[in-house]
Copies of this chain bind each other. A is one copy, B any other.
């Protein structure tokens, strides 16, 4: 299951690093506790919409861009999950060989 908060956390962390900002700086700018931002970045806490808006403002990053990045990252995860699903029918063809192997 692809969880939004994990991808969102990665996007926010990546944006902060690209700007060379510390958790302390973003915390002061967004008026959100450092520990809370850290948990959001690690995908451990859900960010409320108000908090997400504050973080975006502190990072000088439009919410639409954060969501676009998150969408792209989730799409990659979904594609990987899709590959696993596609492999299942291939795996289903194998019992024939398995039967031969166990008979041998």
Is A64 among interface residues, defined by CB-CB distance under 8 A?
yes
Q: How many A residues are at the interface, by size bracket?
A: 20 to 34
B53 touching A64 by the CB < 8 A rule?
A: no
| Interface residues in A24-67 (C-beta closer than 8 Å to B) | 46, 48-50, 52-53, 62-65, 67
Q: Is the interface of A mostly helix, strand, loop or mixed?
A: helix
Name the residue in A53, A71, A78 with the highest tally of chain B Cβ atoms < 10 Å from its Cβ: A71
A78 touching B64 by the CB < 8 A rule?
A: yes
B78 touching A2 by the CB < 8 A rule?
A: no
A1 touching B53 by the CB < 8 A rule?
A: yes
Which segment of A3-11, A12-20, A85-93, A95-103 sits at the interface? Answer: A3-11
Instruction: Show the binding face of A for B, using Cβ within 8 Å.
Output: 1-6, 46, 48-50, 52-53, 62-65, 67-68, 70-72, 74-75, 78
Q: Can you list 11 A-B contacts with CB-CB less than 8 angstroms, sorted by A residue number?
A: A3-B49, A3-B50, A3-B53, A4-B53, A4-B63, A62-B74, A64-B72, A64-B74, A67-B67, A67-B70, A68-B71
